[in-house]
Amino acid sequence: MIAKVRKAVFPAAGLGTRFLPATKAQPKEMLPVVDKPLIQYGVEEAMQSGVQNIIIVTGRGKSAIEDHFDVSFELEHLLETRHKRDLLATVRAISDMIDVSYVRQKEALGLGHAVLRAKELVGHEPFAVILSDDIIDGDTPCLRQLLDIYEFYNAPVVALMEVPRDSISSYGVVDAEPISHNGGKDRLYRIRNMVEKPKASEAPSNLAIIGRYVLTPEVFTSLDAVEPGSGGEIQLTDGLKHVLRSRPIYGYRFEGKRYDAGDKLGFLQATVEFALKRHDLGEAFRAYLKNLPL
Ligand code: UTP
């Protein structure tokens, strides 16, 4: 019997230095793409994948995230008295959406350290990790794609994407062997090894780990055991490498388009493409873009 994934951990305690000064007093996860904060895209993806129990790892200056998912009585009252029914429904949907708990990472000691902070809330069961600065747009939510593989193999699965050689050194990179799954042989891999932020000349492949994971609770023991790695931080990649010693990990080259919204260019691309897709904005925005002297 394969345990169901019920919980998703959202590490959101990073400093967001690539987005300064916007992130000096405001969490990166609350930056809006069109009109929704980054983290809400991730939370909606978790829900659409069948995971309702959300654990957010926060740090100093992140209270806007808690307020966002909480009930706002004043705002709801104001919208009610002004008969703004649509907006009221939008605002209520956010607080009704999920069962959310928070845990604190006091110091930004790395992604692996942030995940380890969720150990008590996760308990002894498999769980998902979503990095909300990776926004993934696809017909099937990316996390759902990973869960399908997890449910078949009963093993941890990470999301993979091919990236150009000149940017490979920004990622965790895998050495992996393609395996056939459901008659196809081009998306699923069994991971042999992985390395965090390798030099382009030393990268084992062009397959990078993107911010979606389905993990099993052994990863907590591994994260406890690993020493700080690249950048002096406890890296999730190093924890996973440790897990590999005792059980297989799979990688899935997901279907969909990923935007690195933690980076300025990626954020702008997501903003333009999501705005163009909106029923209420797309047409006017397209007309505006066409008239720009590019
Ligand atoms: P990033 O590598 O994007 O780091 O973290 P960052 O600090 O958020 O941003 P930059 O690079 O300084 O601009 C990836 C994810 O891991 C979380 C971040 O919040 C983000 O969701 N994280 C990172 C933590 O929760 N704690 C950490 O110590 C580091």
- Residue 273 CA to ligand 1 centre (angstroms): 24
% of residues, the chain, pLDDT over 70: 99
Find the residues whose C-beta lies inside 6 A of ligand 1: 11-19, 28, 57, 105, 108-111, 113-114, 131-133, 262
CB contact at 8 A, 212 and 258:
no
Query: For a substitution probing ligand 1, which of 30, 31, 111 has the most ligand atoms within 8 Å of its CB?
Result: 111
Count of CA atoms in the C-beta half-sphere (13 A) of 253: 21
Going by alpha carbons, the residue nearest to atom 9 of ligand 1 is 16
What's residue 185's pLDDT? Answer: 67
On whether residue 2 sits in a domain, the answer given is no
Euclidean distance between CA atoms 8 and 215, whole angstroms: 10
DSSP 202: G
On whether residue 98 sits in a domain, the answer given is yes
Going by alpha carbons, the residue nearest to atom 22 of ligand 1 is 14
Query: For a substitution probing ligand 1, which of 39, 41, 43, 133 has the most ligand atoms within 8 Å of its CB?
Result: 133
CB contact at 8 A, 251 and 209:
yes
Count of domains forming the chain: 1
pLDDT tens profile 1-58: 899 999 999 999 999 999 999 999 899 999 999 999 999 999 999 999 999 899 999 9
pLDDT tens profile 216-254: 999 999 999 998 887 889 999 999 999 999 999 999 999
Atom of ligand 1 nearest to the CA of 262: 3
Query: For a substitution probing ligand 1, which of 57, 60, 131, 132 has the most ligand atoms within 8 Å of its CB?
Result: 131
Strands 257-260 and 157-162: unpaired
pLDDT tens profile 157-196: 999 999 999 999 999 999 999 998 776 668 999 999 999 9
- Residue 13 CA to ligand 1 centre (angstroms): 6
On whether residue 1 sits in a domain, the answer given is no
- Residue 109 CA to ligand 1 centre (angstroms): 9
On whether residue 281 sits in a domain, the answer given is yes
Going by alpha carbons, the residue nearest to atom 7 of ligand 1 is 14
**Structural domain boundaries enclosing 252:** 7-290
Going by alpha carbons, the residue nearest to atom 5 of ligand 1 is 14
Q: Please, what sign has the CA dihedral across residues 220, 224, 228, 229?
A: negative
On whether residue 41 sits in a domain, the answer given is yes
CATH code of residue 187: 3.90.550.10
pLDDT tens profile 55-112: 999 988 778 999 888 888 888 888 889 888 888 888 787 777 778 999 999 999 999 9
Q: What angle is formed at CA 216 by the lines to CA 214 and CA 219, rounded to 5 degrees? A: 105
Strand partners, 294: none
Q: Which residues of 38-55 are buried (b: 16+ CB within 10 A; e: fewer)?
A: bbbbbbbbbbebebebbb
On whether residue 123 sits in a domain, the answer given is yes
- Residue 115 CA to ligand 1 centre (angstroms): 11
pLDDT tens profile 121-140: 999 999 999 999 999 999 99
